[in-house]
């Protein structure tokens, strides 16, 4: 059971990362793909895809899966800037992705190239 769910989650993540990488390529932003180890009680250990995006101002934004099993969603991915640690949450809900603030406030943006650019702009803007 865990293996099929793990493969579905990894497929969802790979689709997300491919989509984001395409948007970054279209904007001319440098992207570096890596993997990170994740352990979940229901899925076991697996290697999840991550991205590091160099925003136009030089800030690095990380896109990292956190877990498939989270309250109120079918997965959680962090999008955060370094070194500010400003963060958005990307939640998998009803077969799609929803952007929320770090405090859990949903944003009125449908997940798209445009909303991804808005997230990058918000994460990398001066305080």
Q: What is the pLDDT of residue 33?
A: 97
CA angle, residues 88, 103, 31, in degrees to nearest 5: 10
Question: How many angstroms separate the first and last alpha carbons of the chain?
Answer: 46
Please state the pTM of the whole predicted model: 0.91
Phi, psi of 103 (to 5 degrees): -90, 5
Q: What is the pLDDT of residue 1?
A: 44
**Segments in the chain below pLDDT 70:** 1-2, 126-127
Q: What is the pLDDT of residue 113?
A: 94
Phi, psi of 111 (to 5 degrees): -65, 120
- For 15-44, write each residue's pLDDT tens digit: 999 999 999 999 999 999 999 999 999 899
Residues forming beta bridges with residue 51, ordered by sequence position: 33, 63
H or E element at residue 124: helix 113-124
């Amino acid at each position: 059971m865990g293996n099929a769910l793990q493969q579905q989650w990894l497929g969802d993540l790979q689709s997300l990362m491919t989509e984001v990488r395409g948007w970054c390529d279209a904007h001319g932003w440098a992207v570096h793909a890596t993997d990170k180890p994740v352990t979940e009680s229901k899925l076991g250990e697996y290697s999840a895809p991550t991205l590091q995006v160099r925003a136009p101002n030089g800030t690095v934004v990380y896109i990292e899966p956190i877990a498939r099993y989270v309250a109120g969603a079918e997965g959680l991915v962090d999008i955060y800037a370094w070194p500010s640690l400003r963060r958005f949450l990307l939640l998998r809900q009803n077969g799609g992705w929803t952007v929320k603030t770090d405090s859990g406030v949903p944003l009125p943006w449908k997940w798209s190239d445009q909303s991804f650019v808005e997230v990058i702009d918000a994460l990398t803007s001066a305080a």
